[in-house]
Structures are given as C-alpha cells and as structure tokens.
Amino acid sequence: MVRTDNLNIERFVPLSPPDAVKAEIPMTEKAADTVVAGRAAVQAILSGRDPRQLLIAGPCSVHSRRDALEYAGRLKQLAAEVTDVFCIVMRVYFEKPRTTVGWKGLLYDPDLNGTYDIEKGIRLARRILLEINETGLPAATEMLEPIVPQYITDLIAWGAIGARTTESQTHRQMASGLSMPIGFKNSTDGSMRAAVDAIKTALSPHAFIGVTGDGRAAIFRTSGNPYGHLILRGGLNGPNHTSENIAYARELMRKSGIAPAIIVDCSHGNSNKDHRRQAEVLRDIVRQVCGGDRTLRGAMLESYLESGRQEIPENPADLRPGVSITDACLGWAETEALIREAADDLRKARRA
C-alpha cells in the first residue's frame, strides 16, 4: 500500500510524560508557597484590590541556569526593598517564537547547538523554575507549545500569550484552563483588537484536546480564566504606551465588556527594539500612574546581568556570562537604578 502519512517526519523520539518529570523534580513546600502567594498578589493587582504595580523583569530568554539564578538572587533582594509599591515577578522565558528560524529557547535546544535535546530542556527548565521559586521570587513565562504547560506551569505565577499567538484559537482555549493570570499581547502590527478578543474568549469555558499528566490524549473542559488582561508591546507603527493609547485600549476593553487591566511591555515595539529606551517607557508609565490612571496595572522589562546581546558562538562555552542571546536587555546596574527611581516616584505620588 502507498504510504500517505508522516512523509516529512524523519523519526519519533518518545517523550517522558509530565507526571514522570514532576516526580523526578517534585514541587517543594517553599516553592508552592511562593507560587500561591505570587498568583494571589498578581490577581489582587489586576483586579484593583492591591494598589501596587506589577513588574515583570528578567531576560528576554534564559539560556544559562547559573546566570538565571544569579539574576534571581539580585532581583529577589531588590523586590524586598520596593515591595511597598511593586510586586516583582521574574521573567523566565524558555520558549522563543520565531518569525522564520533561529534558536527556539532553552526548553528545545538547551545545549545551544541544534541537537534539540528536549528531554534535557524540559528538566532543566523545571529545575530552574523550582530553584527560583525556592528563593521566594515568583516566576513568569510565555506559553507557546500547548503541551509544555503540563510540565512547568505548577511553578508559574503569571503567564503571557505572545503577539504571534494571541489570535490562535488553540492558545486562547489553553489560556482558559491555565491556573494563573494570563496577559495577551497586542498583535505585531500594533492592533489591540485581537488581544481584547482573546481575553474575552479565554474568559469563557472551552473544550479542547490536550495531553494529561500521564501522557494520554484527552478532552480538556475548562471553566474560563477570570484574570485575562491586555499587554501593550507596540507594533509596526511604533509605540503604544502613551496616555492616548492607554485611553483607547481602556475604552476598547470596556466596550467589549472587559474590566480594563493593562500592562505595558517596555521592550519590543515600545522601545523601537532599543533596549536602552525601555527606561523612557517605564518613566512614562509611572508618570501616568502617578497622574491618576487606575487601569495601568504594571510593566515588563527585558533585563539581565549585563547590557546588550550576543550571537551564539560556534562553541557555546565561549558565551559571555550574563548577556542575552536573543533580544538585547538592560544590564543589572541600569535595571536596579531604574526600578529604584520608579519606586521613589510612586511613593512620592502616594504621599502627595
């Protein structure tokens, strides 16, 4: 008989089921407490019950366990110092959506050499998340591959659906069943409509096909995610963090029957791909919050130990420590100074 299936598949490699990986790298009591407290804090901020701002800070992507943990240690200390005005969650991204091709993230290619040892990547990602949560610092990530959440989302306090996948029905359905608040980014062209539609879709119950903890295909029925919110990241037409853009987003959400809750991504289109301009964006957001805007609930910063970015060398051992291998990031010195400045401004506004 003529073969008609899997014509472009070279081979299948069995993958350990999620429950097996979780048994191998189990949740700890300390990490679980961090996740629960982190989710509760984020939910309170998004709903307006907590007047603080949410700040998602961390590298564009994680490629080194050592660097990620060093950054987490520094961020945890800073988070404790500004906890009166900021709830800080560390950006810990393991999957990178690509417009064409490129490194897809630590989870898919942990050795940075195109060998795609996904078994190793899943375990390394889970270990990093566990260790970060054990410091008391909650973690955030982007949801890209629909099967991956079963391996790691018990360790996630906040999640995002990216600009390239916000329009995807698969990701909207997945978000409706996730256990943490989910932010939807506006489209890469800058349109906010798709993200607002996604928030409304994820709020509703859904039924879809997924993979269970023991690795079997199953029908998942969800109750809907009540903590969907909008992330403004700019677009092809430029930034969208100004007060005019925020006002437009607020009215768009209200007309769609959604309580406005907006987070601004200081990177990407809002910084015109210049990592140094993230500071200008955050300052603008803080000015708007200090001026009385109650729909702005936080911001995102791409930040790492060192400023800038680097290409992956032929020998990954030659990588410079603490430097991003995807989008350029603010260095730690700039990050710390910027967050302290923003915290001081928010405190002054509260006292006024």
Q: For residues 336 and 341, give the distance between their C-alpha atoms in angstroms, rounded to a whole number.
A: 9
Position 271 in a domain = yes
Q: What value, to the nearest 5°, has the Cα angle with vertex 138 and ends 133 and 143?
A: 105
pLDDT reported for residue 100: 64
Nearest-angstrom CA–CA distance, 277 and 133: 30
Please give the single-letter amino acid code of residue 120: K
Question: Whole-angstrom Cα distance, residue 238 to residue 281?
Answer: 12
Q: Is 294 contained in some domain?
A: yes
- Closest by CA to 309, choosing from 279, 260, 274, is 274
Distance of CA 78 to the CA centre of its chain: 19
CATH of the domain at 214: 3.20.20.70
> Is there a domain that residue 31 lies in?
yes
Q: What's the rounded mean pLDDT across residues 262-280? A: 97
Q: Of 73-82, 98-107, 226-235, 312-321, where does mean pLDDT reach its minimum?
A: 98-107
Mean pLDDT of the chain: 96
Per the domain annotation, does 85 fall within a domain?
A: yes
The band of 112, judged by pLDDT with boundaries at 50, 70 and 90, is very high
**Three-state secondary-structure class, residue 207:** strand
Question: For residue 333, what are its two tokens?
Answer: 């010195």
The answer to whether the beta carbons of residues 139 and 39 sit under 8 Å apart is: no
- Is the pTM value of this prediction over 0.75? yes
**Closest Cα to residue 73, out of 289, 322, 273, 271?**
322
Query: Is residue 10 assigned to a domain?
Result: no
Q: Judge whether 3 lies within some domain.
A: no
- What's the number of domains the chain is made of? 1
Q: The tokens of 304 are what? A: 């790492």
Contacts with 264 (C-beta within 8 Å, 6 or more apart), sequence order: 231, 232, 233, 241, 270, 281, 285, 296, 298, 299, 300
Q: pLDDT band for position 99 (50/70/90)? A: low
Could you identify the residue written with the tokens 């564009």?
Answer: 60
Summarize pLDDT for 63-84 with one digit per residue, the tens: 999 999 999 999 999 999 999 9
Residue 156 vs residues 90, 141, 178: alpha-carbon distances, Å: 10, 7, 10
Helix (H) or strand (E) holding 128: helix 118-134
- What average pLDDT does range 150-165 have in this prediction? 97
Nearest Cα to Cα of residue 271 among 304, 299, 295, 238:
238
Tell whether 265 is covered by a domain: yes
Per the domain annotation, does 4 fall within a domain?
A: no
Range of the domain at 308: 18-351
